[in-house]
Chain A
Amino acid sequence: MDDLYLILATLAFLGGFVLAVVSWRRESERPHGLSIPIAIAGLVFQSLFLHLRGQLHGRCPITNGAEVLVFVSWSIVILYLILGRAFRLSLLGVFSMPIVFLFQLFAIVYLAVADPGARPPAHLDPWLELHAAMSLLAYGAFGLAGIAGVMYLVQDRQLKSHKPGRLFYSMPPIRYLAIALVRLVVIGTVLLTVGIVAAFFMEVKPTRLHFLVSGAVWFAYALLLVVHAWKRLPPKRLSLSAIGAFALALATLSAL
């Protein structure tokens, strides 16, 4: 049953992406009317998948690569639904849906080929659960910040080239993108800080590699925020940094 929910969620995100492309092709300023309901439907199926996997393991369902990717996708979607509207970034969905779709597709293939099955813990450690959940939510925020960074670069290029393309009218103002990017990095850094602090209270301490990797990601984002607060980084450099930092964070996921 969990496989079915995962497939339904993936199809919903594929549908959301197709609708976004249709709106873009029609040069519409607003997203398609069904895009938000479809994203919500995808989120519900994702949540059902994670709920069933949680029941299977008897703990937070992040015991293998597929579940981790679905959890990160879930954070991206939930943050998009909450913050996308608040920041008037309606087109965030166009850019986030392909990533979410790819993550989920990878998860489907992974589980079809090598589902490790139930991995219940010998003893449930709430600090471990908190550490894992907060860290992956932080990755969702960093992912969305990276997407906002890509959108900034696309819009900046369109403005500089003097040839506004089809995307131009559908994209939010670059000032809003820069503001949203900083807020997402702040949210992600706060969540990751909570996750890392929780790790210090875990019964079984993480490996040194785990600490080093988490610390490196936290340091990269904290440094970005400090430098930005101090020197007010130009938005273009900020966007490139957010994209680079998320690439680093993604590359380290397998080590965690």
Chain B
Amino acid sequence: MSIFCLGVNHKTAPVELRERLAIAEHSVPSHLGEICGIEGIEEAVVLSTCNRVEIYGASALPEEATDRLIAYLESHFAVAPGEIDFYRQTGESAAHHLFEVASGLDSMVLGETEIFGQVKKAYAIAQETGTTARRMNKLFQQSFSVGKLVRSGSSIQQGSTSVGSAAVDLAEKIFGRLDGCRVMIIGAGEMSRTTAQSLLSRGARSIIVSNRSYDKAVELAAELKGEAIRFDDWETRLDHVDIIVSSTSAPHAVVHAPMIRRVMERRRGHSLFLIDIAVPRDIEEEVNEIDNVYLYNIDQLQQIASEGKARRERQIAICRDLIAAFLREKGIEALAGTPEDRAVREEAGKRNDSPGRALPQS
């Protein structure tokens, strides 16, 4: 009995194909039942996210089992034979692939943590449906241990990878927890909305939205559960906000250094973080020279995001070393007792890099 993995992900298939294969959470149990009804498949777990659709399973003859599984997917998801190039892996490679998936090493945003919860959820659904037994139980439980080990032993999840996350990370380096932070949005554009949502997702409260068109401000405020104010009034509220996100379409600066200096005199030592995502810029550059005031524009945020991506890429080798060390010590429990397991332990002792994979590397 061995294990296998069959699927597509963001590296192997465009979204148009992935969305055809996507399995909604409520229909996963029925598919699991049908997959386990396929001749030769003993156990199964379906992992379906926006970036991947993967089926893990146990079978005595994994090659034949995955052939039948492809036929099942093609017939159930209106895919012409050969239209999708599924990757498939068996034994150690399949286990290793799941370990990298659970660790965020195979994600579009390298090191993202959401996938760990998605793997857990996929396993829980399969367990409830009754399509897991010893092999899948061991495999997934070990993947959770590996995921935790990688996250605690490396900095793979550290560093911003988008403008929104860079802004939020900077805010947390200034204020710590954002629970008590008040945010003002000047200019109700799309970038403001996404940045405000990122801040809200980390606990920021009381969003104030101001826009030249008051109706737009009201609309965005309603979406963000905040308060809309008229464009003429935003200056009067500056004393009581901690973060300002500005993205108006004004051809000149709307936030001036003397204005912020006056505000800071009244703020009694509280920091102020200004995010200028407008082009042309909304906030005078001299504002950053004021004590306790931190100003970032769109280029600076983008620079931090690209450095964050590079930092995460530098962590891949460390993560793979951690996984190799884990395998050296524990082996792959789902393959325990098989000749492959003994080979894994022997090879893990010699290997530093991850094993050769059928999957394309990003």
Q: Does A126 contact B (CB under 8 A)?
A: no
**A29-B158, A169-B159, A234-B292 given; A175·B174 CB < 8 A:** yes
Q: Which residues of A contact B152 (CB under 8 A)?
A: 30
Q: How far is the CB of A167 from chain B (nearest CB, A)?
A: 11
Report the minimum CB–CB distance from A69 to chain B (whole Å). Answer: 34
Q: How many residues of A contact B (CB 8 A)?
A: 27
- The reply on A55 being an interface residue by CB < 8 A is no
* CB-based nearest B residue for A176: B176
Residues of B within 8 A of A57 (CB): none
- Assess A159 versus B155: contact at CB under 8 Å? Given A173-B175, A235-B269: no
A26 within 8 A of B: yes
The residues of B that contact A30 with a CB separation of less than 8 Å are 152
With A160-B288, A160-B294, A175-B174 as known contacts, state yes or no: A169 contacts B269, CB within 8 Å: no
A162 at the B interface (CB under 8 A):
yes
A84 to chain B, nearest CB (A): 15
- Nearest CB to that of B267 among chain A residues? A232
Within 8 A of B (CB), among A149-167: 155, 159-160, 162, 164
- Check B198 for interface membership: any CB of A closer than 8 A: no
Any B CB within 8 A of the CB of A138: no
State the Cβ distance, A35 to closest chain B Cβ, in Å: 15
- Convert A40-75 into 0s and 1s, putting 1 for each residue whose CB lies closer than 8 angstroms to a CB of B: 000000000000000000000000000000000000
B158-A169 in contact (CB<8A): yes
User: A interface vs B, CB < 8 Å?
Assistant: 26-30, 88, 155, 159-160, 162, 164, 168-169, 171-176, 178, 232-238
Q: Which B residues are in CB contact (< 8 Å) with A160?
A: 288, 294
Those of B154-182 within 8 Å (CB) of chain A: 154-155, 158-159, 170, 172-176
Given contacts A28-B155, A159-B170, A160-B288, contact A233 B304 (CB under 8 A): no
Q: Digitize B5-26: 1 where CB-to-A-CB distance is under 8 Å, 0 elsewhere.
A: 0000000000000000000000
The smallest beta-carbon distance between A48 and chain B, in angstroms, is: 33
25 A-B interface contacts by CB (under 8 A)? A26-B318, A27-B314, A28-B158, A29-B155, A29-B158, A30-B152, A88-B176, A159-B170, A159-B294, A160-B288, A162-B303, A164-B307, A168-B173, A169-B158, A173-B172, A173-B173, A173-B174, A173-B175, A174-B174, A175-B174, A175-B271, A234-B292, A235-B271, A235-B292, A236-B291
Which of under 10, 10 to 19, 20 to 34, or 35 or more describes the interface residues of B? 20 to 34
Mostly, the B contact residues are helix
Are A159 and B174 in touch, CB under 8 angstroms?
Answer: yes
Complex Cα–Cα for A232 and B264 (A): 11
Contact check, B173 vs A234: say whether CB atoms are below 8 A apart. no
Whether A27 contacts B173 by the Cβ 8 Å rule is: no
User: Do residues A175 and B176 form an inter-chain contact, with CB atoms below 8 A?
Assistant: yes
Nearest A residue to B273, CB-CB = A159
Identify which of A168, A173, A232 gathers the most chain B CB atoms within 10 Å of its CB.
A173
The answer to whether the Cβ of B214 comes within 8 Å of any Cβ in the partner chain is no
Q: Contact at B304–A236, with CB atoms within 8 Å?
A: no
Interface membership of B76, Cβ < 8 A: no
- How far is it, in angstroms, between the C-alpha of A29 and the C-alpha of B172 when the chains are bound? 13
Q: Nearest chain B CB to A99's CB is how many angstroms away?
A: 24
Asked whether B311 is an interface residue with its Cβ less than 8 Å from the other chain, the reply is: yes
Q: Which B289-330 residues sit within 8 Å CB-CB of chain A?
A: 291-292, 294, 296, 300, 303-304, 307, 311, 314-315, 318
For the complex, give the distance between the alpha carbons of A59 and B154 in Å: 48
Contacts of A235 in B (CB 8 A): 269, 271, 292
A159 to B318, CA, bound (A): 28
Query: A162-B303, A175-B271 known; A169 and B172 CB under 8 Å?
Result: no
Q: Which residue of B lies closest to A158 (CB)?
A: B173
Chain A contacts of B154 at CB under 8 A? 28
Determine the chain B residues whose CB is within 8 A of the CB of A171 once the complex forms: 173
In the complex, which residues of chain B have a beta carbon less than 8 angstroms from the beta carbon of A173? 172-176
Q: Would you call B350 an interface residue if the criterion is a C-beta within 8 Å of the partner chain's C-beta atoms? A: no
Residue of A nearest to B303 (CB): A162
How many whole Å from B298's CB to the nearest CB in chain A? 12
- Whether A164 pairs with B304 at a CB distance below 8 angstroms is yes
B268 at the interface (CB under 8 A from A): yes
A178 to B159, CA, bound (A): 24
Q: How far is the CA of A155 from the CA of B158 in the complex (A)?
A: 17
CA distance A171 to B176 in the complex (A): 11
Q: Given contacts A171-B173, A173-B176, list 5 more A-B pairs with CB under 8 A.
A: A88-B176, A233-B269, A235-B269, A237-B291, A238-B269
